């Protein structure tokens, strides 16, 4: 069966002329290479160099013609270059590193691979080499070496810091095991001078289970916060056998993937500083207290000065009044009366001065006037009552009143007789200070028809000056006085 022409099997077109390598091909390949290619003859003169090779040397291919590799080698590299050529010319390929010196004076490191160049008969007629620029690799290696050197130096400095620092420097892993510690840290943490005694140990072995749990909770909180903290910590110092205070800075460390790596801490012993701070605070408090005391004392001195000035003027006014109002049948009697009254005022004034004008106890004031009559019979004179502090406003007036009553009792009343007795009692009653003067056993008193100076003096002192009250009674046993003055003139110290 004959097939139609259009269904016949297609035949391939006739083959064209075969494609053969040419010099142009090889030149294109050589120029496209990333490596420099350099061909020399047996005299080391350049037969061929591609543009990459010329670029590495810093010239053009035309400028390289006729020149030798020795033109681009320093004195210290010439010997290596001659050795490579000699081995090539003997038929041995060589790989090596060498440095070419460019026309501008810069140096370029290269990795070279050279082999003998043979003709068609196999005879060696030169050398062909390929060269790769090592500048970037060398720079990278130098940077890496510099980084490693810096890391070693940093590590050395860190170790020196650890050894020489007086601060406790330590590191714990997330589980609480100590990974790093210098001698101060070893002493504080474990009571030892050798860090090896605590490194690798968990906190429970160093601090005990209870305190280790507290520290572990603090560590977990530190990681949760994700930032460093500075805190004051109190620990049992094995050197002092007492509590020490440390200022600790703790820094959480993380791995590249963000997982906890550990805690780095620096703890400084501030026990002495805290003690000095406390001493300073105590001294400041004492100084402030002393300043307050001085200010108070100054105020009291000023108040005292004003009080003394006021009382002195008041005393002079009382003396003047006593002198003007005193009456007597003779000069001697007048002199005696005035002297006694002025002495009574002087005694009250002295008692106030001794007490820095804060007041005089009533019992002391009464005893001063009655002292001459209290040394004999124990039952002759009796004074009793609560401890009462008379204010300066009342002490002088009441002192003068007691003097008048005592003088009258000694001249005309109970104290004028050996069998007479006197009872002085005081109490706080109904908001007043009440003093009872009771004489007994003396001559039967005569009720006067008019008031003498003594009576007027008692009445004036109590009623006018102290705004009090005077009650008098004459009985067969003797005279009785009841003096009442407002309690504002007295302070009850005890009942």
Which tens digits make up the pLDDT trace of 373-385? 765 555 688 889 9
In a domain, 278, yes or no: no
In a domain, 329, yes or no: yes
Say if residue 199 is in the same domain as residue 60: no
Q: Which helix (H) or strand (E) holds 492?
A: strand 490-494
Say if residue 349 is in the same domain as residue 467: yes
Say if residue 221 is in the same domain as residue 105: no
In a domain, 283, yes or no: no
Name the pLDDT band for 189 (thresholds 50, 70, 90).
confident
User: Is the per-residue pLDDT at 478 higher than 90?
Assistant: no
User: Is the per-residue pLDDT at 96 higher than 70?
Assistant: yes
Q: Which residues of 88-101 are buried (b: 16+ CB within 10 A; e: fewer)?
A: bbeeeebeeebbbb
Contacts of 279 (CB under 8 A, 6+ apart): none
pLDDT of residue 88: 96
Q: Compute the chain's Rg from CA coordinates.
A: 61
Condensed to tens digits (0 to 9), the pLDDT of residues 105-119 reads 899 999 999 999 999
> CATH number of the domain that 476 lies in?
3.30.565.10
User: Is the per-residue pLDDT at 10 higher than 60?
Assistant: no
**Cβ–Cβ under 8 Å, residues 136 and 111:** no
Q: Is 257 exposed, middle or buried (0-12, 13-18, 19+ CB in 10 A)?
A: exposed
Angle at the Cα of 45 from the Cα atoms of 40 and 48, rounded to 5 degrees: 50
Question: Across residues 331-341, what is the average pLDDT?
Answer: 59
Chain CA centroid to CA 262, Å = 28
Return d(Cα 431, Cα 486) in angstroms, integer.
Answer: 7
Say if residue 209 is in the same domain as residue 313: no
Say if residue 101 is in the same domain as residue 170: no
pLDDT of residue 217: 86
**Better-predicted residue by pLDDT, 412 or 131:** 131
Structural domain of 217 = 165-269
Stated pTM of the model: 0.40
Say if residue 367 is in the same domain as residue 490: yes
In a domain, 274, yes or no: no
Say if residue 227 is in the same domain as residue 314: no
By C-alpha distance, which of 233, 218, 297 is closest to 270?
A: 233
pLDDT of residue 16: 47
Name the pLDDT band for 129 (thresholds 50, 70, 90).
very high
Q: What is the mean pLDDT of the chain?
A: 80
Question: Across residues 416-444, what is the average pLDDT?
Answer: 86
Token readout for 75 is: 């004195």
Return d(Cα 7, Cα 421) in angstroms, integer.
Answer: 175
pLDDT of residue 330: 63
**Better-predicted residue by pLDDT, 70 or 232:** 70
Name the pLDDT band for 4 (thresholds 50, 70, 90).
very low
User: Is the per-residue pLDDT at 23 higher than 80?
Assistant: no
By C-alpha distance, which of 235, 292, 295, 296 is closest to 265?
A: 235
pLDDT of residue 132: 93
Name the pLDDT band for 91 (thresholds 50, 70, 90).
very high
Q: Is 332 exposed, middle or buried (0-12, 13-18, 19+ CB in 10 A)?
A: exposed
Say if residue 429 is in the same domain as residue 349: yes
* 185 C-beta neighbours (distance < 10 Å), count: 24
User: Is the per-residue pLDDT at 159 higher than 80?
Assistant: no
In a domain, 285, yes or no: no
pLDDT of residue 2: 38
**Cβ–Cβ under 8 Å, residues 342 and 457:** no
In a domain, 344, yes or no: yes
Condensed to tens digits (0 to 9), the pLDDT of residues 254-294 reads 888 888 888 888 888 888 888 888 899 999 999 988 888 88
**Least confident stretch, 21-30, 114-123, 247-256, 303-312:** 303-312
* Total structural domains within the chain: 3
The residue from 91, 110, 133 where one domain ends is 133
Say if residue 389 is in the same domain as residue 482: yes
pLDDT of residue 81: 94
Chain CA centroid to CA 309, Å = 51
Say if residue 123 is in the same domain as residue 169: no
Question: Across residues 445-451, what is the average pLDDT?
Answer: 62
Name the pLDDT band for 491 (thresholds 50, 70, 90).
confident
Token readout for 114 is: 């050279």
Return d(Cα 176, Cα 57) in angstroms, integer.
Answer: 61
pLDDT of residue 150: 87
In a domain, 275, yes or no: no
Condensed to tens digits (0 to 9), the pLDDT of residues 75-86 reads 889 999 999 999
The residue from 269, 293, 324 where one domain ends is 269
pLDDT of residue 339: 62
pLDDT of residue 462: 85
3-state secondary structure of 187: helix
Return d(Cα 446, Cα 475) in angstroms, integer.
Answer: 10
Return d(Cα 49, Cα 39) in angstroms, integer.
Answer: 6
Condensed to tens digits (0 to 9), the pLDDT of residues 392-428 reads 878 888 888 888 888 888 888 888 888 888 899 999 8
Say if residue 255 is in the same domain as residue 376: no
The residue from 216, 242, 269 where one domain ends is 269
The alpha helices in 97-202, defined as continuous H runs, are: 135-164, 183-190
> CATH number of the domain that 222 lies in?
3.30.450.20
By C-alpha distance, which of 213, 270, 225, 274 is closest to 250?
A: 225
Say if residue 193 is in the same domain as residue 53: no
Question: Across residues 205-224, what is the average pLDDT?
Answer: 82
In a domain, 320, yes or no: yes
Angle at the Cα of 401 from the Cα atoms of 398 and 405, rounded to 5 degrees: 140
Name the pLDDT band for 324 (thresholds 50, 70, 90).
low
Question: Across residues 320-344, what is the average pLDDT?
Answer: 58
User: Is the per-residue pLDDT at 5 higher than 50?
Assistant: no
**Least confident stretch, 111-125, 283-297, 298-312:** 298-312
3-state secondary structure of 36: strand
């Amino acid at each position: 069966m004959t097939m139609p022409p259009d269904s016949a099997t297609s035949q391939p077109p006739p083959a064209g002329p075969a494609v053969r390598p040419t010099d142009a091909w090889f030149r294109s390949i050589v120029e496209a290479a990333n490596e420099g290619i350099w061909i020399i003859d047996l005299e080391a003169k350049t037969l061929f160099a591609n543009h990459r090779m010329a670029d590495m040397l810093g010239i053009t291919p035309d400028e390289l013609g006729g020149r030798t590799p020795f033109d681009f080698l320093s004195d210290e590299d010439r010997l290596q270059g001659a050795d490579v050529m000699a081995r090539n010319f003997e038929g041995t390929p060589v790989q090596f590193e060498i440095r070419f010196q460019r026309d501008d004076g810069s140096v370029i490191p290269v990795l070279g691979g050279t082999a003998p160049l043979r003709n068609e008969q196999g005879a060696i007629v030169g050398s062909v080499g390929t060269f790769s620029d090592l500048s970037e690799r060398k720079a990278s290696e130098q940077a890496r070496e510099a980084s490693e050197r810096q890391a070693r130096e940093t590590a050395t400095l860190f170790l020196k810091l650890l050894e020489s620092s007086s601060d406790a420097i330590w590191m714990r892993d997330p589980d609480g095991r100590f990974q790093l510690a210098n001698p101060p840290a070893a002493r504080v943490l474990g009571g030892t001078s050798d860090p090896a005694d605590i490194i690798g140990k968990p906190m429970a072995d160093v601090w005990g289970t209870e305190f280790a749990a507290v520290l572990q909770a603090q560590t977990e909180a530190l990681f949760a916060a994700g930032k460093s903290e500075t805190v004051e910590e109190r620990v049992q110092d094995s050197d002092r056998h007492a509590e020490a205070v440390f200022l600790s800075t703790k820094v959480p460390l993380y791995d590249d993937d963000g997982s906890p790596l550990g805690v780095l801490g620096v703890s400084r012993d501030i026990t002495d500083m805290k003690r000095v701070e406390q001493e300073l605070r105590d001294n400041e408090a004492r100084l402030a207290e002393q300043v307050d005391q001085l200010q108070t004392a100054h105020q009291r001195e000023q108040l005292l000065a004003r009080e003394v000035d006021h009382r002195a003027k008041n005393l002079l006014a009382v003396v003047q009044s006593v002198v003007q109002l005193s009456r007597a049948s003779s000069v001697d009697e007048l002199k005696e009366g005035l002297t006694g009254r002025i002495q009574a005022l002087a005694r009250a004034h002295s008692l106030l001065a001794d007490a820095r004008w804060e007041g005089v106890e009533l019992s002391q004031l009464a005893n001063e006037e009655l002292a001459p009559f209290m040394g004999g019979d124990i039952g002759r004179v009796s004074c009793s009552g609560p401890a009462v502090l008379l204010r300066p406003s009342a002490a002088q007036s009441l002192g003068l009143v007691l003097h008048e009553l005592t003088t009258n009792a000694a001249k005309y009343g109970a104290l004028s007789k050996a069998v007479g007795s006197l009872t002085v009692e005081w109490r706080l009653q109904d908001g007043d200070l009440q003093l009872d003067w009771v004489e007994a056993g003396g001559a039967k008193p005569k009720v006067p028809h008019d008031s003498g100076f003594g009576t007027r003096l008692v009445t004036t002192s109590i009623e006018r000056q102290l705004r009090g009250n005077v009650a008098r009674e004459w009985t067969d046993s003797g005279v009785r006085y009841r003096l009442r003055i407002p309690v504002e003139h007295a302070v009850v110290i005890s009942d």
